[in-house]
Amino acid sequence: MAGADLDGRNMPVSLTNSKLIFDALKECDIRMVSALPETWLVHLIRLADDDPEMTLVRLAKEEEAVGVSAGAYFAGVKSAMLMQNHGFLASINGIVSLAHLYKIPLLMLISYRGSFGERDPWQTQGGNVTEPLLRALGIPYSFLDAVETVKKRIRQAQTLAESSLQPVALLLTRDLMWEE
Amino acid sequence: MLRLECLRSIYSELQNCLVVTIMGAVAAELQSLGHRPNFFYLQHAMGLASSMGLGLALCLPEQQVIVIDGDGSLLMNLGSLSTMARYRPKKLVHVVFDNESLLSVGGFPTATSTGTDLEGIALASGIPRVATVRSVESLKAAVTDAVRGSELTTIIAKVEATGPAAYVTDLSLLENRFQFRRHVQSLKKR
């Protein structure tokens, strides 16, 4: 059942900026994306699904993505993880006990729900703890918050992940993802 | 049925595969039979060995991948069965040693000891081939068949809750990681 809301057409998620992010990922030679849907990610996931050069792995829970991306890394395939910040919370043991323990580079694109402008009450608690947790885990992070810097930041995040052999996060912000 | 004997019986099969194991007794016992550069032991992150095997199998569809899982680990990531079944890589074999116990942390019984049926869960998750084995011979036959075949297979092997005296080996985690990565990359150059 592919209702209008399910593919994001009735939601003000930016298709233009989702495409910008997706194209930047492809320019970084990323060929596998693992994801769990969330409103801000609908276009990105559909773009990955529609692209024959991209392998999309739809997960049951975000922590699986750490294992899938680690497998891809050993195979020599560049991958990215698409998740909501609550999915990041659900992945923490995998990040610590696989990615950190074994020095596996991960490129994590995390939608930053529950921050300024958030209307959904259920997103707000996760918004409070996202950055403190990234800092506590020692995960370098930056923001995708402006069209002009998207491409460069994705490239820089991937470069740092690969040189430091560790997870690096990019927070997808409302300013970039939401059009209203 | 002893897990060590099971591993011994399939060791020659494992020699030609990319092998991802879980932590604890499985990792220590396989190393006691002889470490190889194509063996990776995920010494923590319980539940993610199958996810890592899936990532490998999707990226290297020509390579045979064998995940050696356990009941405690799989119960922590049952969703992985549904994700594997969704993409069903043809050359992925998922062996689950079910000793009905969290052996390495003191032998606390898992839910398979009170009736949870991993074969049923794997089947209902959509894994195309599932078997439960209770003897070394049938385990060996099931693994050999699965490797010869071309369908995602989960094999539940019921084993006794006994393990090695020690779990820490002289292979450091990072040594294993860098060696395994180098090995996988060398396969691509051939």
Average pLDDT in chain A: 94
In a domain, A35, yes or no: yes
- A32–B53 CB contact, under 8 Å: no
Q: For residue B96, what are the β-bridge partners? A: B69, B156
pLDDT digits (tens, 9 = 90+) for A125-178: 999 999 999 999 999 999 999 999 999 999 999 999 999 999 999 999 999 999
Judge whether B2 is closer than 8 Å to chain A, CB to CB. no
Structure tokens at A5: 């809301």
The answer to whether the beta carbons of residues A69 and A95 sit under 8 Å apart is no
Structure tokens at A160: 């740092």
- Give the per-residue pLDDT at B179: 98
- Give the per-residue pLDDT at A1: 34
- B83–A59 CB contact, under 8 Å: yes
- Asked if pLDDT for residue A31 goes beyond 70, the answer is yes
- A-facing residues of B in 72-131 (CB < 8 A) are 77, 79-80, 82-83, 86-87
Which CATH number belongs to the domain containing residue B9 in this structure?
Answer: 3.40.50.970
- Give the per-residue pLDDT at A4: 41
Judge whether A4 is closer than 8 Å to chain B, CB to CB. no
Which CATH number belongs to the domain containing residue A141 in this structure?
Answer: 3.40.50.970
Percent residues over pLDDT 90 in chain A: 91
Q: pTM of the predicted model, to two decimals?
A: 0.96
Question: Which residues of chain B make contact with A94, given a CB cutoff of 8 A?
Answer: 45, 48
Question: Which residues of chain A make contact with B83, given a CB cutoff of 8 A?
Answer: 57-60, 64
pLDDT digits (tens, 9 = 90+) for A52-62: 999 999 999 99
In a domain, A3, yes or no: no
- A71–B77 CB contact, under 8 Å: no
Percent residues over pLDDT 70 in chain A: 94
In a domain, A54, yes or no: yes
Number of domains, chain A: 1
- Asked if pLDDT for residue A3 goes beyond 50, the answer is no
Domain with A139 in it? 15-177
- Give the per-residue pLDDT at B189: 74
The answer to whether the beta carbons of residues B152 and B94 sit under 8 Å apart is yes
Q: Quote the minimal CA–CA distance from B55 to chain A in Å.
A: 4
Judge whether A101 is closer than 8 Å to chain B, CB to CB. yes
Separation of alpha carbons A21 and B130, rounded Å: 40
Separation of alpha carbons A168 and B146, rounded Å: 38
- Asked if pLDDT for residue A7 goes beyond 80, the answer is no
Which residue out of A30, A32, A58, A68 would a mutagenesis test of the B interface target, given it has the greatest number of B Cβ atoms within 10 Å? A68
Q: Which residue of B has its CA nearest to A104?
A: B177
pLDDT digits (tens, 9 = 90+) for A93-120: 999 999 999 999 999 999 999 999 999 9
Q: Which residue of B has its CA nearest to A78?
A: B59
Separation of alpha carbons A83 and A57, rounded Å: 12
Number of domains, chain B: 1
Average pLDDT in chain B: 96
In a domain, A1, yes or no: no
In a domain, A4, yes or no: no
- Asked if pLDDT for residue A32 goes beyond 80, the answer is yes
Exposure class string for A126-155: b at 16+ Cβ within 10 A, else e: bbeebbeebeebebbbebbbeeeebbebbe
In a domain, A47, yes or no: yes
pLDDT digits (tens, 9 = 90+) for B63-94: 999 999 999 999 999 999 999 999 999 999 99
Whether complex ipTM tops 0.95: yes
**In this predicted model, which residue has the larger pLDDT, A179 or B124?**
B124
The minimal CB distance from A71 to the residues B43, B55, B177 is found for B55
- Asked if pLDDT for residue B40 goes beyond 50, the answer is yes
Structure tokens at A35: 């994801």
